[in-house]
Every structure is written in C-alpha cells, then in structure tokens.
Structure 1
Amino acid sequence: MRIFSGIQPTGRKHLGNYLGAIRQYVEGQERGEGIYCVVDLHAITVAYDVVELRARVLDTTAMLLAAGLDPARCTLFRQSDVREHTELCWLLASVTAHGDLNRMTQFKEKSARQRELISAGLFLYPVLQAADILAYQTDEVPVGDDQRQHIELTRDIAQRFNERFGETFKVPVHRIPEVGARIMDLQDPTQKMSTTAGSEAGLVFVTDEPGAIVQKLRSAVTDSGGEVVCGPDKPGITNLIEILAVVRSSKVDEVEASFAGGGYGDFKQAVADELVEYLGPVRERYVELRGDERALEGVLAEGADRARAIAAATLATVRERMGVGAT
C-alpha cells in the first residue's frame, strides 16, 4: 500500500498539526510505503516572505524527522524539487470543473483573509493537491478533518480522468483519525487550532517549553460545570479529553472514566503533565536536527530523486493518454 500526504511549511507546528497529521505519517511508514512532501508550492499561493519560506521548509523537515519519520523507510521531499507536480496540475485542470473549485471551503476562507491579491494559485490549490496525490498512484492519504473536501475532489478528478482517457489513476481514500482529527483552540474551543486565526494562548506548539504548555492548559477555556465528560455543550472539555485520549493511545470513554468524580483543575493539570512528557522527546530531537541544515537538505534531495522517478512515470502515462507531447 502506498501512502502519501503533504504538509505546509507555514510557521511553527502546533498540536493540531501534530495529532491530526504528523503522527499519522509516522504510523503510515509502519503500514506501507510512505511518501511525504513539504508543499512549498502551496505556501506561495498567499502572501509570504522568501527568506522565511526557505527557513520554514527546513523547520518542517526537522519536525517530521523529530516526530519519527525515517528517510530509510519513507520518502520525504520538497514539492518544488519534483517539477512533475506542476505539469500534472495543469493537465488535471482540464478535467476539473470550475464549479467544484468555487465550492471549496478553504478557498473561501483563505481568500477572505487576503488583504490585496487573491491569486489564481489559491483557486487552483486543490488541483495541485490532486496532482501531488495522484502522481504517486496513492492508495491512502492521511489528513486532518479540514482536508476531507479536498480529498473528495481528488477522487472526483481521478474518476473523471479515468472515464475520459482510460484507467490511469488509482482512486485514493482518505484516512482521518477517529480521535484528534480536529484539535480546537484552547481559548476558543468552537474554532480549530490555527496559527492564522487563533491567539498565542490558544495554541500549543510542539516546540513549546514545558512551562508554557502547563500555563496554556491551566488557562484553557472550559464551561461552568465540573464533570469531565464530552458533550456538544462542553467543547472545551471535549477538546481536552480528545487530546489526552490521543496522548494515552486510549479511547475517549476510558479517559472520562479515569477522571470520574474529579474536577476540572486536576484534569487540566493531568493533560498538561502528560502532554509535556509526550512532546518532550520530539522538541529535544527537533532542536538537534534543525542545527544541521546541510543534512536536512540532503534528506530532501535524496527523497526528491526517489519521488521524481515515480512521478515521471505517471506523468508519461498521462501525457500519452491525453495526446500531449511527442510520441
């Protein structure tokens, strides 16, 4: 089984990124052939700083390796190093409906935040994402809940291409974790944890020092009750229960049972303590890895060579089926 996913090199990675996506990547290399991509071409569809982008690609690479990705057991590369992605994007655009792109929730949300230019690249973002995935004949795509709509579009594009030009692409399925797929902001638990919309106090970064994590968890917004149980009227507590369930590799009801009769104060402290222990080794390893930029670039270059061989074969088939290029 081939597993593919991409991750944006945008800022420090927070708990939502880690629990919703990164931990799935690590698990994926145990279950199949993992191919993971730092998607810098997606990052340039909104306003950005050139120097920051280059640094953040390496930040993200170091974080993935610190989390447990092993270049000997998976392929890790920078999207822009494999040019087949962009050509395949253009070819797939010919079988993508304009109306489908207009309905993409993330385009509406991101374009609303742009103060000046709303780029065509942002509109075509889901087509490039489909190219990323389909270039590798992917079976499974581990993602957070916010990517569900884009993966459904990828499936539609693959099926439409196959119907028009003959069986060419595998139609991938998404893999969204039952628990932890959508981690919420600690200060506004009705909104997902996000660096673009949330406050510093509502975000737990993987690289946060233990004291910062404890402070953020202690001040997490809950409700006026006192029972540690999930419920639609208890988004703050529900969020913390899900976080602890992932950290413990247990079920939500097991977490609830372990705090039966307890109060919010003790519960928040337990979440903080266990989260500090859970993230500590990753933070320490990240600092070590981030200091060797040459080694990080080496990992990305080697991964790009392996990825390019697969993507080039797919692109050659697509060009032949579509009647594009020399025969």
Structure 2
Amino acid sequence: MTDSPFKPLVFSGVQPTGSLTLGNYLGAIRKFVALQEDNDCLFCVVDMHSITARLVHDDLKEQTRSIAAAFIASGIDPKEHIVFNQSRVPGHAELAWIFNCVARIGWMNRMTQFKDKAGKDRENASLGLLAYPSLMAADILVYRATHVPVGDDQKQHLELARDIAIKFNNDFSSRIEEAGLAVPLTMGEEKVNAYFPVVEPLIDGPAPRVMSLRDGTKKMSKSDPSDNSRINMTDDADTIAKKIRKAKTDPDALPGDVEGLKGRPEADNLVGIFAALSDRTKADVLSEFGGRQFSEFKPALADLSVTVLSPIGDEMRRLMADPGALDAILLDGAERANALAEKTMADVREIVGFV
C-alpha cells in the first residue's frame, strides 16, 4: 500500500443482484480473502445500490444473505473483520446526500456505467442510478477507508470518489482546521488540510476475465438467461462438472502456446479458468495440455473446478439454511461498522455546520 497519513483501511462491496458466479469469485471475492491477511477490512453487501436500476426485488433479503454467506464460505473471517449490509448503517445515506451536494452534475453525466445501464431511455432512469456514484463514495469515505480493490468497471467511480474527497477537503479546508480535524495531506507539491483520504485503488495484477461457457465473447453473467452459461457459487459438484462438460468449444486441439489461443475465445476462456483456479499462468497450463483434445482437458478442468468450488458451495448452502445465524453476523458487523461511521458523521456535521 502507498504511504498515507490516514490509518490504512480497506473497503470492499458486492451488490446483491442475482447469484454469484465463478467470475465474481475469481475476479473479486478470492482477492478479498487474500486482502484480509495483512489489512483491516470492511466487507459490505451494498443492498442500497441494488435498487438503483431495479426498484422491486422479490428475493433481496435472500440475495443479501447469499453474498454474506459467500464471503464467509470463501474464507473471510467476520470476527476479525467487519461483514455487514449497507442499509443497516444510516451514515451511508446521510453522507451520500452531502456528497450529492459536493459532486457536480457534469461529473455524473460523464459516468459511462450510467450511460450503459440507462440505455437510450435515460429520461426514464431513476435519479438513484444517476447519483449512485455519490453513494459509492460515501460507502468508502464514511469509514475514511484508504484503499478499495477495483476492477476495470469501477475505476471511473473510484476516480469520482477521489474528486469528491478532494473538493470536500478544499471547500471546507478552514472549517476542518478550526474543528481540529485536519490531517496534513500532500497533493502533488501542495500540502492541504484534509479530513477525507484520497482513496487509492488496489489492483493486484490483471483480474481473470471469466467469459460465458456458451459464448466465449461474452462475460460470464449472473443475469444471462441460460444457467449453463455460468458456474454459480452454489452449484453442487455434479452441476459444476456437467456445465464444464457442456461448455462450448471448437474442434481443434489445444495449442502449445498462448499465441495459439488468439481467435479461439472458448478455448482461451477455459484455459484461463483452469489457470486462475490453479494459480498458474495460461502458458503453464498449455505446457501440460497443449496438443490435447478438449475431451481430455474438460475432465481435468471439471475435477479442478469441483475441488476448489464445491466446498465453498457446500458451506454457502449450510450457512443459508440458518438465516437467523447469518442475520446475527450481519447485525454484529453493522453495529461495529456503525460505530466507525457515526464518528465520521459527527465530524462531518460539525464541519458542514449542522446543529
């Protein structure tokens, strides 16, 4: 981590919209598990974000519990770190409103995810969808977190969180100092009195890009209508093996080097999955399986997938069978998170001038 006058703290959030997939595990959750070894972490189920694009969810409670179960089943320790759901901590929404007043409309209009999610009918999109990057900034900064693991799709939002923190610090610089809350922060060659850290991204090498098992040109998605397009984290061993066997391939043997995967999206995807699950490179995998047919490679991939994922799925199902116990973990996490958030909000109310 980079040097910072703020106490290092990592914030990670996952939205409860649909079943988590192998892509979510390899791209995010497995990285979260590694981060907890050397950092203080908050792992948040961002349930308030889930209603920005779609207001009504029949199973939002179940999905929220499912994300929490996935965190814990994958190896996150809810006693050493904080696992909670966003809506239980009022500071997220309160700080988001203040940040709505800090952020500029032009900043929001530039967010590519809003353009993608709103589509052509932007006038009919919810205000929450437009403003949710402010809530994301509040999620992070209500804890004065210093680092956030991000993928490519969230880099722009993290840049916005940085812009909001910088503008808040600048606009309220004198009040931050008067309240005795200033942290000396170096920005380029300038030293400023800051209250909020300028959050840094955590990018641990290129994240494996897991594609659909039915179309190697499309990202594996929990919203794909075909369940065979993805491996869900709750799939049992037989289902995982069956989906790997049915995965789309081409008729040629696997190449001997990575260059030979070009133009073969399905082959590239399956080799990439094997590499990620075994903590190897694609080149390493091809050194073992190059020249072999998919009829030999798929069983090996199925065995590896079952070995890694099946215990996580089994533990998720065990945890979800006792929703009361999961809710107790989330409540305990929320109480600990709220203690941190309320300290920040008391400072922010003083800085802004609220009585």
- Normalised to the residue count of structure 2, the TM-score between the two structures is 0.85
Structure 1 residue 188, shift from structure 2 partner: 2.0
Deviations 1:31-61 (A, max 9, x none): 1101011111001112254541112111221
Q: Over residues 224-274 of structure 1, what are the superposed CA-to-partner deviations in whole Å (9 max), with x where a residue is unaligned?
A: 543344444232222222222221122232222222332333223222210
Q: Find the aligned partners of 1:149 and 1:235 in 2 and give their Cα distance.
A: 27
Unaligned runs of 5+ in 2: 1-7, 174-193
CA 1:222–1:151 in 2, change beyond 3 Å: closer, same or farther? Answer: farther
Contact 2:147–2:201, Cα closer than 8 Å, also in 1: yes
* Aligned residue in 2 for 1:244: 274
SS of equivalent residue, structure 1 residue 37: strand
Structure with max Cα Rg: 2
CA distance in 2, matches of 1:264, 1:113: 41
Structure 2: distance between partners of 1:160 and 1:116: 28
* Alignment match, 1:268: 298
Tell me, in whole angstroms, the C-alpha distance in 1 between the residues paired with 2:120 and 2:330: 31
> After superposition, what is the alpha-carbon deviation per residue over 1:65-112, rounded to whole angstroms, capped at 9, x for unaligned?
111111111101110100000111111112212222222222222223
Contact 1:19 / 1:180 at 8 angstroms: preserved in 2? yes
Equivalent position to 1:189, from 212, 216, 219: 216
Deviation at 1:279, TM superposition (A): 0.4
Matching residue within 65, 68, 83 for 2:75: 68
Report SS of the residue matched to 1:77: strand
The one-letter amino acid of 1:135's match is V
Aligned length: 325
Q: Which residue in 1 is equivalent to 2:205? A: 178
Is structure 2 residue 332 aligned with structure 1 residue 302?
A: yes
1:123-142 paired onto structure 2 within 5 Å: 123-142=130-149
- Aligned CA RMSD, in angstroms, stands at 2.2
CA distance in 1 between counterparts of 2:269 and 2:206 reads: 10
Identity within the alignment, %: 42
Tell me the residue number matched to 2:182. none
Q: Partners of 2:243 and 2:81 in 1: how far apart?
A: 34
Structure 1: segments with no counterpart, 5+ residues: none
SS, match of residue 70 in structure 1: coil
SS class of match (2:48): helix
Q: Does 1:85 align with 2:87?
A: no
Whichever residue aligns with residue 309 of structure 1, its letter is A
Asked whether 1:103 is paired with 2:147, we answer no
Q: Which residue of 1 aligns with 2:179?
A: none
- Choose which of 317, 321, 324 in structure 2 pairs with 1:287: 317
Q: Deviation above 6 Å: which 4+ runs of structure 1?
A: 113-116
